[in-house]
Amino acid sequence: MAETLRDALDQYLAHLTVERGLSVNTTSAYRRDLARYVGYLEARGVEVPADVTAAHVQEFVVALRSGGDGRAVLSASSTARCLAAVRGWHGFCEGEGLAAANPAHDVRAPARERRLPKAISVEDVGRLLEAAGAGEGAVPVRDAALLELVYSTGARISEAVSLDIDDLDLDGDAPAVRLFGKGRKERVVPVGSFAARAVGAYLVCSRPELAARGRGTPAVFLNARGARMSRQSAWAVLRGAAERAGLGAHVSPHTLRHSFATHLLAGGADVRVVQELLGHASVTTTQLYTLVTPDALREVYAATHPRALG
């Protein structure tokens, strides 16, 4: 008997976790997108992967953008993400002999809006980092070290809280950190002197106090119970510091990462170097940071053109 859609989906999710080593969060995102897709197919009488056609996939894309399947309308970028998951699943089914071809192979995603990543100024970063370390005790020292390291390396919040002690190399003249990005892709990123000092102070003065409350963990950043910090806890640290610095409305979990890239490029860094530092698979993603806003164009024009102002 041919594998049902849901059997094939379970096999694919297991493949993502075991063989490709994707994180729990990434696999959960695939599960949500593909469960919606499988439900859509089942409602149309499709029972096995071999019966799915390109028309089914294209109609699903339309449903995502219109809410035609009775679910929430997705943006163009979210629809593209969902289609990528669908394409990957069908490719798996083809490779496993569950279908003769990949019906999603030639289905195109809707055009995405090109949004500039949000970044804050160097001055605002300084205010944010100062606010993070305000107060007494081990926690403010930890918070300052966490945000200094994120800004210094362009790490994702999830990458920072996943760090173990062995991933740090702060000795010598070239401090660096080993980060594991999406799909556990490894990269080594330099650590600036401010961050190296902040993390060093935390490791010596504050981490031992936090570690004494737990059962022992190699994690760099610990919570108040001595266990590894979660992404949610790290986000709360960033949000709290932003509010104290008066930046609450302008800060998101990726703000320091975006600011890191924007400030490097503004300082003259090559886009491909920034791509490597960020761990982007494609330079196209990094190039979003090089786009200049209309306001910035007007400001430069007004300040530099000899006949801009009369």
Verify whether residue 36 is a known catalytic residue.
no
**Catalytic residue status for 257:** yes
Question: How far is it, in rounded angstroms, from Cα 132 to Cα 151?
Answer: 13
Q: Which parts of the chain are beta strand (E)? A: 168-169, 176-180, 186-190
Catalytic residue among 15, 31, 65, 182: 182
Tell me the DSSP string of 108-136.
PPPPPP-PPPP---HHHHHHHHHHHT-SS
Determine the longest span between alpha carbons in the chain, in angstroms. Answer: 81
**Rounded distance, CA 199 to CA 191, Å?**
10
Known catalytic residue at 156: yes
Q: Catalytic annotation on 185?
A: no
**Of 12, 151, 202, 289, which residue is the catalytic one?**
289
Using the 8-state DSSP alphabet, how is residue 53 labeled? -
Token pair recorded at residue 138: 């081990």
Out of 36, 87, 142, 257, the active site residue is 257
Out of 36, 87, 142, 156, the active site residue is 156
CA distances (Å), origin 255, targets 115, 207, 242:
14, 25, 10
Task: Assess whether 90 carries a catalytic annotation.
Answer: no
Catalytic residue numbers, as ranges:
156, 182, 254, 257, 280, 289
